[in-house]
A and B are shown apart, each in its own frame.
Chain A
Amino acid sequence: MSQPTALPVSDSLKNAVIRLAGYSQDGIQSIGAFLAQLAGSTAQDVMTYMTIPSTISGGPSIFQVHLGSGKVLHPGDEADTLVAFYQDSYQNHLSSLRDGGICFYDSDKVEEITEERGIIHIGVPFTSATIEAIGGTAKDRGKNIFVLGVLCAVYKLDREEITKIISKKFGGKSEDILRNAMLAFDAGYLWPVHDIDHMPMAPGENAEEKRLSTDGNTMLAMGLIAGGCRYGAGYPITPWTTIMEQLRSELPKYGGMFIQCEDELAAVSLAIGAAYAGHLAITGSSGPGLALKAEAIGYASMAELPLIVVNIQRGGPSTGMPTSVEQSDLMQAIYGSHGDAPRVVLAPRNVEDCFYTAVEACRIARKYSTPVVILSDQAIATRIEAFPEPDLEKHWDDVDLDLDERGVDFKPYPIDQLTRHSPPGSRSTEGKYPVVTGLEHDEWGHPSGNPENHAAMTAKRRNKLVNLAESLPRPEIFGDDTGDILLVGWGSTYGPIREATGKLRDAGHKVGALHIRHIHPLRVDLGELFENFSHVLVPEMNDSGVYGMGQLTTLLRAVTCDPKIKSINKTMGITFRVQEIVDAATHTLKS
């Protein structure tokens, strides 16, 4: 091996977008995860983005990491650095590099092609150098760690810290594995890279004491635990599955359990059973599974049982694009059932927010005795971000199983108050026990076909959402609160919209951004916020439909009757690039 040479150092970088392109079996996800964890522990911010092949045997896959010394709001429109493991990954992803970007490729596998855009191609024999470093027995294993070493050297990342992270990851396994990983890392770190300057990352500015780095599904599961969910049931479906897997292992420690069922119909039913029994229970799925749960969600709405329903949206309809992202289940989440079946719908905006949204969903479900849908998506579910650790002094609710005796005046469904059930096991002073039912019922829960009663009970179920809407904080506008364009978003478009707002304002436009977390009920006075803008644009990852409007746009139009609300739709199964929103907004301003 040739001796390393010191590289000249360029100015420090505030942001770096690194795209790793290879095959899922090469462990490119773990390089990304290591980089993300490193960012989290060195006060950097990070957001990752990955594509997963939907076949198990693996296949082309990318992992993109956006590192930043300040805040990172999106996974990066274009890469500054591309790492390509194979010829096809090299050829397919060169276009994702910005002009003048850097491409590291495995010179054992890739033949360089000429490129016009000033891209610097650097061949490094990932495969053979790793074999040489480890001792020739490990075949292809370890070249991901080698590459991690190369990247750490180029970006001058904290070597000591990454070594700690690697030890933590492999330390539990055999000594050989850890030794090989360290050998591969060092070989990469010391590999002489001649054609470029070092590009040190600027020191992280996110100096909160405790920072976590993890994915959205993990934070959603942890939020459910903090919110007091102790029982749940589900059926596997990508990308929801990792929530159920985590709850299955975690809940027993908290005295609860999560059951894998035969299908989604059973899963939602089992959760409703646990809710009826007096617990806060959760079920979840992705689009197709939510459709199967629809009838039972209508029941929970009618019987007024608290229930958390998680839906991790993916590309649909039907099996669609299971490992891609879309925001096309919004209407299903709000209306998917039969009859007038009000329920609450909340959408987290990023990984960190998954935790707080889950805690809030639990509080609302309990207070209003209602189903609450948490509408996340594939992008948030699978990407890694770094953020301050939640303060459990504030964001934690103890569980209580209320089996107190119910007195003579107990009515489960009082017309002018919130519903309170008497779970089985609680005694009744009068000796009369209630039946919880999906039939229309009177205040005592007795089935009733009385027309006035149905009207009154329908209003009771609707009015608790009206009351909830009134108690919600008025969403704040980021940027200008009056001007040319208001960008309105929900869910994972939060980051790109924020970033686009910044760019548009830098370009001299008066632009604001409004993010809606409480999708249903909406605050009815939202329209007042729109009055101060010439245009209201709603970027949504769903189709513009027959009437030329995305799903949130349709709702906002219905609530505000404001025809200036227009959609920017994207149906490619990938997140908005910041530039796409900037372009659409600029186009609107011009026309």
Chain B
Amino acid sequence: MTLPEEKLTKKQLKADHPTWCPGCGDFAVLASFFNVVQKLGIPHEKIVCVAGIGCSSRFPYFVNTHGIHFIHGRALPLATGISLSRPDLHVFVFGGDGDGFSIGGNHLNHAARKNVNLSYVVMDNQVYGLTKNQTSPTTPIGRRSKTDPRGSVDRPINPMAQLVASGATFIARTHAAQVKHMNEMFERAILHPGFAVVETLSECTMFFPGAFDSGNPRKGGAFNLVDETKRNMECTAEAMQLAEETEIMLPGKFGVYLESRRPTKNELENEWLKDAQAKVADLKPRDLLRQKFAAMR
């Protein structure tokens, strides 16, 4: 990634004041994003913020960069279209647990397996915020919501395990109350060539307050880090083990679960594109089509 001399200021990056509820964890995610983008100094017009639908998916309105607010669950394929067709851009996707793991769950698998070059922040609040407190795919068993008045009965998905299984090349987990850690995770995700996901536990103060206290030392919890020095960061088996441990012993470990390098979809498609164009370099596009017609005579 080549970076310009001149760096963006927070003032340049700020847009409308967020419409989130007071205390919503997503504010911290936004602040962290500003910090990291400022630090990395990406050219202003090359940043694209993409989101689906949800409280967290309102993110693009609060950032003064090019942005697109799409439909529920489809932010990843939309971002794939941007990333593949415009290699000059830096594509950031934001969304919630419902948007990413439920309605958009299959797109997550495929964006990960294709290793599309983009960074994806999931603000997991374990609830549907925007639609006002229904069970989400990460809601813990037993939690009551408007759609589960007797308490949720379905086993929540394990996002880390799903991401490992589907072949994401950068998988991290952080907590919106741990600003320094969140900054570090975002920065590494952005610098990662390929599909980088950061699951960020971000409290919905309105409908699920205290959901992540167990991971917050200031609320009596424990913020336990992944010890990268003791791990093979490219090993999916180790990452899967870590993901399973986290599921069993919540709040689990925070940090990078997996960091590996595999050709990106962008690189692979561009390789084909270059080869194909090299073969027809002496023809103008219009003559290329004429040549195709000649074969139909």
Contacts and interface: CB of A to CB of B under 8 A. Distances in A.
B70 interface: yes
28 contacts: A213-B296, A214-B296, A222-B293, A231-B85, A233-B81, A255-B277, A257-B84, A257-B269, A257-B273, A259-B80, A259-B81, A259-B269, A262-B77, A266-B110, A269-B74, A269-B81, A270-B80, A281-B85, A392-B286, A422-B66, A425-B45, A425-B66, A431-B12, A433-B45, A433-B66, A436-B68, A436-B69, A438-B70
A275 B76 CA distance: 15
A273 B45 contact: no
Contact of B77 (A255, A273, A278, A299): A273
A250 interface: yes
A252 B276 contact: yes
A contact face: mostly helix, strand, loop, or mixed: mixed
A428 interface: yes
Interface stretch (B57-65, B195-203, B246-254): B57-65
B84 to A, nearest CB: 6
Interface centre among A233, A270, A389, A446 (most CB of B within 10 A): A270
A277 B288 CA distance: 25
Contacts of A272: 70, 78, 81
B233 to A, nearest CB: 28
Contacts of A281: 81, 85
B243 interface: no
B70 A212 contact: no
B72 to A, nearest CB: 8
A426 B48 CA distance: 11
Interface string A425-442: 111100111111111000
B30 to A, nearest CB: 14
Contacts of A269: 70-71, 74, 77-78, 80-81, 107
B222 interface: no
A257 to B, nearest CB: 5
A270 B78 contact: yes
B297 A210 contact: yes
Interface of A: 40-41, 210-214, 218, 222, 225-226, 231, 233, 250, 252-257, 259, 261-263, 265-267, 269-279, 281, 295-296, 299, 303, 389-390, 392, 396, 398, 422-428, 431-439, 446-447
A391 B81 CA distance: 32
Contacts of B76: 266
A256 B16 CA distance: 36
A354 B154 CA distance: 50
Contacts of B273: 252, 255-257
B86 A425 contact: yes
A207 B107 CA distance: 52
Interface string B2-38: 0000000000100010000000000000000000000
B18 to A, nearest CB: 13
B1 to A, nearest CB: 16
A437 B109 contact: no
Contacts of A446: 16
B89 interface: yes
B216 to A, nearest CB: 32
Nearest to B74: A269
Interface in B253-285: 269, 272-273, 275-277, 279-280, 285
A392 B48 CA distance: 36
Contacts of B277: 252-253, 255
A277 B290 CA distance: 28
Contact of B82 (A41, A274, A422): A274
Interface string B94-118: 0000000000001101100000000
Contacts of A226: 289
B274 to A, nearest CB: 9
Interface centre among B44, B46, B79, B292 (most CB of A within 10 A): B292
Given A273-B77, A396-B289, A425-B86, 15 more contacts: A222-B289, A231-B85, A257-B84, A263-B106, A266-B76, A269-B81, A273-B78, A276-B68, A299-B70, A425-B88, A426-B45, A435-B66, A435-B69, A436-B69, A447-B61
B67 interface: yes
Q: Could you say which interface size class chain B belongs to?
A: 35 or more
A432 B86 contact: no
A435 B292 CA distance: 40
B77 A266 contact: yes
A254 B81 contact: no
B293 A271 contact: no
Nearest to A214: B296
Nearest to A265: B74
A54 B66 CA distance: 46
A282 B276 CA distance: 20
A299 B45 contact: no
A389 B297 CA distance: 9
Contact of B71 (A213, A253, A296, A427): A296
Contacts of B288: 253-254
Interface centre among B79, B110, B296 (most CB of A within 10 A): B296
B77 A261 contact: yes
A405 to B, nearest CB: 9
Nearest to B64: A433
Contacts of B110: 261-262, 266
Given A433-B66, A435-B68, A437-B69, A266 B84 contact: no
B297 A41 contact: yes
A174 B73 CA distance: 51
Contact of B61 (A277, A295, A435): A435
B200 to A, nearest CB: 21
A259 B84 contact: yes
B289 A277 contact: no
B81 A270 contact: yes
Given A253-B280, A254-B288, A266-B77, A273 B82 contact: yes
B85 A40 contact: no
A255 B285 CA distance: 9
A103 to B, nearest CB: 32
Contacts of B88: 425
Contacts of A276: 68, 78, 81-82
A434 B82 contact: no
Given A254-B288, A273-B80, A273-B82, A296 B12 contact: no
A457 B9 CA distance: 34
Interface centre among B12, B285, B290 (most CB of A within 10 A): B285
B143 to A, nearest CB: 29
Nearest to B59: A435
Contact of B67 (A270, A274, A389, A436): A436
A390 B280 CA distance: 21
Given A259-B84, A432-B64, A265 B77 contact: yes
A431 B64 contact: yes
A253 B76 CA distance: 26
A218 B69 CA distance: 35
B89 A277 contact: yes
